[in-house]
Structure 1
Amino acid sequence: MGKKEEQLLDAATLEWRKTEQGYSLWADHATQPVMHGTFIEQELRPGLALHGTTVSFRQGISGKSEINAGLKLIVMLEGEISAHFGRTHLQLGGAKASCVLLSAQTTQSFKRVVEQAGQQRQVVLTISEDWLAQSGMGDVQDWVAIEELQGPALSSRSWQASPEVLSLAAKLLQTGHASSPLHPLQQESRALNLLLAALQQISPQQPTRLDMRAQQRIQQLLELFHHSPRNDWSLATLSHAVGSNPTTLQKQFRQSTGHSIAEYMRSYRLKLARNELQQGQSVTEAALNAGYNSPANFATAFKRQFGLSPREVRL
């Protein structure tokens, strides 16, 4: 453990206190709080939740947390946070305000680190898989080309926030009209506009015709994947195998097929799983073969693609 890490306080050892001005975190026998500020926690509608913070840290802290399956849009207006998923490190914020989109197939544990004292303003929208499906956005993780962060179970995309995104996020942190009966509707409207503005920044561009070498790479990738569809392929491994780099290969694959690499692999594995179910294999075995550790997540993805549950296909 490095010297810098040793200087961080463990959030689990701190005490939360609530006052009229907001919340604060205190260490034993301290005369001043380690952190103080305001928090917003709102379920805007089932499956769509808002978390907002305007806080000040007097010292760096670290703590453990979890994210649930679905999407999480994070807008860092001010400050910096590090998130550690196993050995994978994700930096949020910094010199320029930024957006991060996280996509989790299952609940993921991570370590959250604020390395030094300073101000922090952050907006987080949590969007469930059910909300995405009901809104006709079940494939949003794929068409915005999110890249694997921790294997297929966790992916991310980071980019610099646009002025529109920053303005909407800042308005979501305002609490001056919280007592108004129209405030919940206003917050939901702002949250939806924020999600729209953020996704529009990273939506795919119109496809262009690929040259012969690029088409050969795509064909080589498809042959490689079709030969070993259950291999734990990563974007980096596939790129190396066909002599390309991850960013270029992902872009060219989408231009050629209309899908991201992850979307194509997931769809193909689900088709194989459907064949296995029709031949009598159990739902659990078919889910594992398709790369899903959770039968529930497998069932959700399966029904989204085929309109039937795995058990209905198996019968």
Structure 2
Amino acid sequence: MNTLAAHPPAGQTQHILTPQSLAQLGLRFGIEYRIEGRSEGVAPVAQGRVHDVSLSTSLHLTLSDLQVERTYWSASRQTVPWFISVVLEGHINATVGNQCLAFAAGDGLCAHFTPQHSLTVYQPAQPRLRTVNLAVLATAPHDLPLAPKEALLHRWRLPEPLIAILRATIDQPPSACHQPLVWQGLALQLLGHGLPQSPLSPLEEHCANHRTETRLTPRDRGCLTRLHQRIADDPTQRYCLNDLARDVAMSPSSLRQKFRAYYGYSLFDHLRQSRLAQAYRDLERGYSVQQAAHACGYRHATNFATAFKRAFGIAPHEVFNRS
């Protein structure tokens, strides 16, 4: 099976992220990491490419192209006026305060967070996660709007031409002499498109006003974690909500509510995404698009292709052709 580590773009350094190396990064950038399952110091959490691009002193840009082998969470404990993250391939969930949103390929995230209301990003195990992350450390040098008084999480959709440029540019060697200049321009475009026009969009206001607090006991968390891993490990099984609820000694409605409260998305969103991730791995192993679609429960290849591209930002046949 092809992996990012096995087939890196020419001239780009590969990284293996372990619990130990993530902890060191966390100390440097004020981020706390939590890893699903056991956390041995040397077992890989992810592998691929992560590098910074030198911009002005008020902007910090990080490019990331990873195969995530173990689900993990990152919680930023600093105050940042504005933070932009763009998902080029893969999917994540982000939480700030009582706002929780899912982000797939082509989505942009704009956040303002503080140590009291940190930005927590859920990064599930997946074949490929490509992101562009831009932290604004000071607003004055670029005449940007001041950060709001309250923590904020805003989702926006990238224009297709900008997505294409970002996908092409992120694969260029970081040592190229023109790269900082190119990324300086792209960073300003991301800010222009990503900064919210108003404190909250209608959808986010609805989420903030209607999301209910759900109490989770240590037992609940343990049961949900095991169920989450069970589905991720064996997504092609035929699952029934009533059976799953009985397995964790919850009512079906309680399981739905607690799963969403803990992970930020529904139980069956997780099942669908896990099946698509399995299809990605099958395509890399040489399955045809039709075979991969049927294996993960899709009767029609066209519906599968639409869901696959929405999740990963790439068509199934492109994965098959490069395997």
Report the TM-score when normalising by structure 2.
Answer: 0.45
Question: Per residue, is there more strand in 1 or in 2?
Answer: 1
Report the TM-score when normalising by structure 1.
Answer: 0.46
Question: Of the two, which has the highest radius of gyration?
Answer: 1
Considering Cα pairs closer than 8 Å and 6+ residues apart, tell me whether 1 or 2 has the greater RCO: 2
